[in-house]
Amino acid sequence: MECARRLGWALNTVKRYARAEKAEDLLRPPRYGICLVDAHRDLVQRRLADKTPVTRILAEIREHGYSGSANLLVRYINQGRADPQRVVPTPRRLVSWIMSRPTDLPDHTRRHLHDLLTSCREMSTLAARVREFATILTQRRGQDLTEWVTTVRLDTLPGFDSYLNGLLKDWDAVVAGLTLPFSNGPTEGVNTKIKYLKRQMYGRAGFSLLRKRILLSQ
């Protein structure tokens, strides 16, 4: 915190710099929005692989309905957005894509994720297992958990052993949570509200006032 105070930076920024082993670790890929070229990305990618001039690519995608400018296409290509191997998302963003429903992702993100997964067998298997577990969770199919664990064990995916061991340590509770309609959500909500009130009053009031606020908030 002293470093953050002296530099005038946010604490998380200082931590990110401290954790980085080399300068490249600090680089973050840009987050691009939806573009008119996205609908023709596969065609542009194929033509670039054939070393087709940009002017011919522009004419061809315009025949397929592209209504943007030539500068937009050139910028799209220079940014590497036509090549999924060049624009690699951060691990955190890739995890968020895999954890999301495919139908909730924009078309260009869904295509990008598909390209990344098909280029790596382990990643494709990982995404499949995550989505299977999401189905078990959302549809309360706890009876399928044993088969899912067995399948994941056979996949020998790195990093999964500790997660599976954690499930096995409290197996009955996990199966019940994935099967029964009951939830401890209301209790956790009350705990969160109490912590919020406590942090609001920290250093400003005593326990008696905190107690009154908690009782009045119920």
Convert the pLDDT of each residue in 45-74 to its tens digit: 888 888 888 899 999 999 999 998 899 888
Per DSSP, the three-state class of 28 is coil
pLDDT of residue 24: 65
Length of the chain: 218
**Tokens describing residue 73:** 């296409």
Nearest to 54 by CA among 37, 70, 35, 38: 70
Gap between the Cα atoms of 185 and 196, Å rounded: 16
**Identity (one letter) of the amino acid at 105?**
L
94 residue type, one letter: L
Predicted confidence (pLDDT) per residue in 96-137, tens digit: 999 998 888 887 788 888 888 888 888 899 999 999 999 999
Confidence check: pLDDT of 85 > 60: no
Residue 149 confidence (pLDDT): 93
How many other β-carbons are positioned within 10 Å of the β-carbon of residue 16? 14
Q: Give the residue from 208, 210, 188 showing the smallest Cα distance to 199.
A: 210
pLDDT surpassing 60 at residue 86 = no
CA distance 156 to 34: 37
Encoded tokens for 78: 């220079």
Q: Which range, 19-23, 66-70, 205-209, is most confident?
A: 66-70
> What is the per-residue pLDDT across 145-166, written as a single tens digit (0 to 9) for each?
999 999 999 988 888 888 899 9
